[in-house]
Amino acid sequence: MKFKSVFDIIGPVMIGPSSSHTAGAARIGRVARDLFGKQPTWARIYLYGSFAETYKGHGTDKAIVGGLLDYDTFDERIKTAFEDAKQAGLTYEFIPETAHTEHPNTTRIVIGDESREMSMVGISIGGGKTEITELNGFPLRLSGELAAILVVHEDRSGCIASVSNCLAKYDINIGHMEVSRREKGNMALMVIEIDQNVNEQILNEISELPNITQVTRIAD
């Protein structure tokens, strides 16, 4: 068996009691906040499989709320996430579901504020590692472990090349990239995992490219 680093063997630093149900859940919540771009004021959190069965005992509920408050997997404040959410003005509701999902540790997080809302599906695959599999109805595969850029754009020829060329100009290497669309010629989503974070200048330059609607950054 091959490992990329010692952390693949001993796992990342994280708060317990469970890497899958606590640390992974916190990471999913934090990615949701990153994708939303700011602190949400409300959240509806749908839980599936073992998440739905054990979320109170394993601290999955506190972990997700902690992630929505921007707490990392090792942050001791996860233990007081409910109290902290109240102070931050974040209301939340947990909704256990019985529907079957591809992975047992699955959650759909719907968050918003007075102006907009966002829906995201995440799974905890073990050892604190996660995958984001859906964003606002777009299927995707986002690990949450690398820096990433999500680009909403019109489904037009040249969009992918123009974004790639912009990153290449600043010597930003692409580690993984996927593109999905709901239907031909409509809106599409580029998910680009990169080897280093990008600054506001690069984000603004991508935003100004033709047929680009929205650009969101997720730091590593």
Distance CA(152)–CA(180), nearest Å, equals: 10
Contact 66, 26 (CB under 8 A): yes
Tens of pLDDT, residue by residue over 63-96, are: 999 999 999 888 999 999 999 999 999 999 999 9
* Separation of first and last alpha carbons in the chain: 26
Domains of the chain, CATH where assigned: 12-142 (3.30.1330.90), 147-218 (3.30.70.260)
Q: What is the pTM of this model?
A: 0.76
Distance CA(124)–CA(88), nearest Å, equals: 26
Sheet of strand 187-194: strand arrangement: 174-181, 187-194, 147-154, 212-218
Tens of pLDDT, residue by residue over 26-68, are: 999 999 998 898 999 999 999 999 999 988 888 999 999 999 9
- Rounded to 10 deg, the angle between the 159-169 and 200-207 helix axes is 160
